[in-house]
Chains A and B, each alone.
Chain A
């Protein structure tokens, strides 16, 4: 700090005047703060003080871990890869793009019945939804129904911003690459006879996304009218206003679309596809038995070694089947308990030496 001369120095530099009133004022205040004497709790981490903590952590974590582990184990989950890489797979034929539309059927068996609501996911692997170019290739204003953004999408959407001189709605790489396989689930009842399982497509997207974040362009007329002067994404077959016949699930607020627009964190991901609602308490939602999955195979993943899966899963309060959390809790709890024991031994054994050790001067 540069030394500075100011008029105050003059006062300080003056002759040390008699200890009168002026000198008294210079006395620092005797407050707890200024004297650094604020009342304070002074914890010290010693073997003695942390010992109980270790035991407590052990004692709490192990039961929690077991609880979570059991909960997770009770969740039923089945995963079916329908990419068709294996030549024997029924979907193998669909790998070449010649056959359109390509429909294939995969049979599978549920060993155990699925109770409660069953959630149907599709899963993709090696699909980098988290690539930066991809993540930012969207226009949230457009998706929120902003009329100007609808006709003039954000530059971030390049190269999926305009097509044939018309703005793309919805623009961007994410929307353009929307998953478009159709999955249908059938229960084989008597060897050959089968019933379709009703799949609910509402409630798969976050409520706030569906109701606040995503909005169709304003206007009174039919959706097609509101989307006029825009064009469909290059890879799409139908324009956005034809995604669903239900007007509450059409256009930008189509839930399949919204789900897709929430980019996944990692290259292997699942997205919620449909919900199979529990019908009654008496019957399991999906009883054990043979099922087959009807796939309208549109989505190409072969070019980037991708995989497509269909997952059926029940859900607990803590989500899907994930043994990790339970195991981690049990492990941490055990280690903590073990450390507690070790510390106890050490503390006991060395107590004398550490306590009597004088502070050498």
Chain B
């Protein structure tokens, strides 16, 4: 048996503690998960079995079961819709919990099954569903249903529109029947929440480095000890003197075995140098600390009622390390609250003013500017001839022509979309053209894309009101007249085509294709219309920072339609390469278009975006804007949000077609930058040029980018965004990146960046869900980074360093002691002290510190973003700092040990009655000095003394004394050794010991204080300077002890009384004036703050 210097319990207990705490935390989360799992698994569902409804638990659903879902229920599995309560077999669902899109989505059943609305009918169904293997993509599903009806097989394609995803909720539909195709972990929802790749913060990385260094120190200490032990043991008088014989067993054991066991024994003896509890403390700190972000009122968005949300607490400190910010434009910098502003119809530009279109551009007869109304349709409708004064001539022919153009344009706008109407008021009215009865003002549109919503709303204001779609009909009220369009096909939007189209049949029977999309995707396919004029207008819109879309149409002959219909059907039913085939079909259909015009929608900038970007830049953070928008729009937004300055020299890398050209351009840019390094540079890159630049000339490109103070990437595909971030991440400096975005297209970049921030915006919650932190507004970024990030970084950095320090202090005396006990592995401290040191005696002050520390007023941090530079590049955890703390730890350990050695080891009695101390007293003395020093060292680090800090700091020391007195005061039953009996009492009974404790503590801390003071004096960091100038705290030490949180506790009044006695309390005690902040950041906080501050200060 290997003989260990400390009992297994001694070393095991801290480990056990660490594991227990972690287990409790994980267990708690697991329990929550389990509960919600149970809730989901145990939810009652109705399954059709042998012609009847059977109630069962949702976990019992098997693939192939027909499930009945009632209104507002959640689907328990991925179902293929068979039939719904509606005759057309459609149903509405919301997928808010899956992708955050809040609009209602219509899903439809195959017509053959849609009629099976009763159980009896369902029983007659004989069908086979073939579908692909489970896949995580929520929007992709391919399969087909082979229905055997009257001995004949009918094959129907199944697409995402007939799949009801688990987790989605049925809306506006009485009930549906569906076949479960994927259940349990195979559902798309389950496949999607497979954990994200774990992100590790820079601090954690350096923490691991430190631990490895300590492991090396540990092993080398063990090796040194083992070697020295054997050097000593060569002489028998040391190895086995007469008074200390070995047992037979020890004598006979093999040399090698003994050597190994000695080495292991030393490892066990010194293992406390590796702070096991560091991990659990860090974890606790992160877990608890992250609550402060959610609690922060400054990060609370009043209008939407959203507070900041922390999805991973592992990255809190990384917020203080950001060097690059990549931000999306739409919805992040802007509100994503689209307002229809202008349009260009048939080559003429119009502006919307108070629900009317006003022509803008040069008017042929501008004799009367006031009368240049192009008039609204309602206007026209009521008084058709009053518009004769319109700038477009007076002839009625002309006017009808005009109306026709507009009519078509707005019809296109109000038909080509996927907007849903909220029919909350019309619940229950399942059939009939119920929408017709509603006034347009009562309609509320829900759209996945705010652009569409804005457009449909604008059309409604103008007079073409989309009322809803019923079955396969879209109803549009044009100037109060209801028209029904049969919706034949929707060619959905995708980001490759960048357009969508619908094929509708007009009441007159004509079939139209309406297309809407980015100008780059529409214009090339157009063969008619005012292409050139529109293009100019689109560019003008873009310059104003408006978002543009082009509208076009194509009239289809029935013959053409046949072809189209067939091709679409083929493509949609294809089991293989369906996407490819669909894309081909779409391309075939969307051609020979006639341009109708373009729309321009304004996206307002968010509040304080300019200030935030400015602050980020002052903090030394490079801001890149990555957007899918076109260059002109992007640049103008960039300029208006302060990302680009007017004074900046803007370089462009756009429209590069070939590799060589791109390289040449890059070299040119690099030259221009070096030539002209006084002025700031901004770079504009577009997606295609970027992919070229990234493919071959990464290094060159990175050089250019790094020298630019602002970079704007436009026309970016989602994956490209992620790729850019990846590139920056792996560049030689390994900068810490942060990505902000709000949409599903930002998810990949959010996940790629070191820190992903989601904006809880209008484009659903996908970004917020996949992010590490979610905030409501871009401007909150400044507080999140400069205040929270800074604090968390300082806290965790000190936490890590301090842990390392305290364990060096702890174990080095033990190592030194081996030199005096023949390397016999005798422990210096009692095993209970070894066990409890990290768990009880020192854990709380550092934990509380790491939760509450504010080395500087948060307001100062926010107002002086430059202070952020002080902690960049993981400065607090640099090797020099680490070395300092380590050396400090060692020197302290030497002081404790040799101080005690000279005091006691010179075999002098320290007691007034001449009695002697033993080895345990010696160890306890070292331990006491160490504990006090280590705790007071923590106190020195603390710049923010709340009553909690006072409580745990002094409490820890007091606890140590009380515990030791108690522990030493009893002969412990069932214990083998009573080594510590009365040792602590005897120690404290000695006057010299008291003096020695004070002396050693003072010496240790003096070293540190001197270093701190000199550092601050000769190389003050900006933060330190700011501390001096800004933190004129007037709360005194004593006050902080007594000021309990709410200022109402008894202690506070005691404190006040005490003060009155001492005569220190003056009205000026109401401390920091928060309201005296700079103009940028005064939000509601100052008022709130002052009121509580008044009440809580003594």
Contact = CB atoms under 8 A, between A and B. Distances in A.
A and B, one complex? yes
Interface of A: 1-10, 12-16, 19, 22-24, 26-47, 50, 53, 57, 61, 64, 68, 117, 119, 121, 123, 127-141, 144, 154, 156, 158-160, 173, 176-177, 203-206, 208-209, 212-213, 235, 259, 262-272, 275, 300, 303-305, 313, 315-322, 324-325, 328-329, 332, 335-336, 339, 343, 346-347, 350, 354-355, 357, 359-361
Nearest to B1017: A47
B976 A9 contact: no
Given A328-B999, A360-B866, A131 B244 contact: yes
21 contacts: A2-B195, A5-B190, A7-B39, A13-B96, A36-B296, A40-B949, A47-B1016, A130-B820, A131-B824, A135-B919, A156-B976, A203-B913, A235-B243, A265-B918, A269-B907, A270-B907, A313-B914, A317-B912, A318-B991, A320-B910, A329-B999
List the 7 closest pairs (A to B, CB-CB), nearest first: A23-B305, A6-B36, A177-B243, A265-B922, A41-B1040, A119-B914, A2-B195
Given A12-B765, A117-B914, A28 B295 contact: yes
Contact of A304 (B241, B921, B940, B986): B241
Interface stretch (B697-705, B706-714, B836-844, B1006-1014): B1006-1014
A26 B1002 CA distance: 49
Nearest to B1008: A45
A355 to B, nearest CB: 8
Interface in B573-625: 618
Given A132-B824, A144-B971, A212 B981 contact: yes
B247 A50 contact: no
Interface residues of B, number: 147
Given A41-B1037, A208-B982, A36 B238 contact: no
Contacts of A26: 305-307
Contacts of A212: 971, 981-982
B906 A322 contact: yes
A319 to B, nearest CB: 4
A185 to B, nearest CB: 16
Contacts of A16: 102, 304, 306
A30 B1020 contact: no
Interface in B940-989: 940, 943-949, 971, 975-979, 981-982, 985-986
Contacts of A271: 916
Contacts of A325: 903, 992, 995-996, 999
Contacts of A350: 1017
Nearest to B990: A319
Given A35-B1089, A159-B245, A318 B995 contact: yes
B1022 A68 contact: no
B970 to A, nearest CB: 10
B292 to A, nearest CB: 6
A315 B914 contact: yes
Given A328-B999, A329-B999, A42 B305 contact: no
Contacts of B825: 132
A263 B40 CA distance: 65
B167 to A, nearest CB: 7
B750 to A, nearest CB: 13
B821 interface: yes
Given A132-B821, A173-B244, A336-B1006, A354 B1020 contact: yes
B244 A133 contact: yes
A28 B307 contact: yes
Contact of A361 (B100, B247, B300, B866): B866
B1033 interface: yes
Contacts of B32: 4, 6
A22 B306 CA distance: 11
A350 B243 CA distance: 65
B1002 A332 contact: yes
Given A329-B999, A339-B1006, 6 more contacts: A6-B37, A28-B294, A57-B1006, A205-B915, A206-B986, A265-B919
Interface in B889-945: 899, 901-919, 921-923, 940, 943-945
Nearest to A135: B826
Given A42-B944, A134-B244, A206 B915 contact: yes
Given A37-B1093, A57-B1002, A318-B995, A266 B901 contact: yes
B97 interface: yes
Interface stretch (B176-184, B202-210, B503-511, B1024-1032): B1024-1032
A4 B245 CA distance: 62
Contacts of B1016: 45-47
B246 interface: yes
B1020 A5 contact: no
A5 B911 contact: no
B196 interface: yes
Contacts of B769: 3, 13
Contact of A319 (B36, B922, B992, B1093): B992
Interface of B: 5, 29, 32-33, 35-37, 39-40, 74, 94, 96-98, 100, 102, 167, 169, 189-190, 193, 195-196, 237-238, 241-248, 291-292, 294-297, 300, 302-307, 311-314, 618, 765, 769, 820-822, 824-827, 852, 854, 858, 864, 866, 899, 901-919, 921-923, 940, 943-949, 971, 975-979, 981-982, 985-986, 990-992, 995-996, 999, 1002-1003, 1006, 1009-1010, 1012-1013, 1016-1017, 1020, 1022, 1025-1029, 1031, 1033, 1035-1037, 1039-1040, 1043, 1045-1047, 1071, 1088-1089, 1092-1093, 1096-1098
A320 B247 CA distance: 39
A213 B914 contact: no
Contacts of B1025: 357, 359
Contacts of A156: 976
Given A19-B303, A38-B1045, A130 B821 contact: yes
A5 B904 contact: no
B923 to A, nearest CB: 8
Contacts of A305: 237
A132 B979 CA distance: 13
Given A206-B986, A209-B982, A361-B618, A43 B241 contact: no
B1022 A359 contact: yes
Contacts of B242: 177, 300, 303-304
A64 B1002 CA distance: 14
Contacts of A272: 909, 914-916
Contact of A10 (B74, B903, B922, B995): B74
A211 B1091 CA distance: 63
B306 to A, nearest CB: 7
A183 B1001 CA distance: 41
A319 B189 contact: no
A40 B946 contact: yes
B916 A303 contact: no
Given A46-B1013, A130-B820, A320-B914, A40 B944 contact: yes
B1097 A39 contact: yes
B297 A268 contact: no
B1078 to A, nearest CB: 13
Contact of A50 (B243, B312, B1013): B1013
B307 A42 contact: no
A332 B999 contact: yes
Given A44-B1027, A325-B999, A129 B919 contact: yes
A38 B300 contact: no
B910 A318 contact: yes
Contacts of B975: 140
Contacts of A359: 864, 866, 1022, 1025-1026, 1029
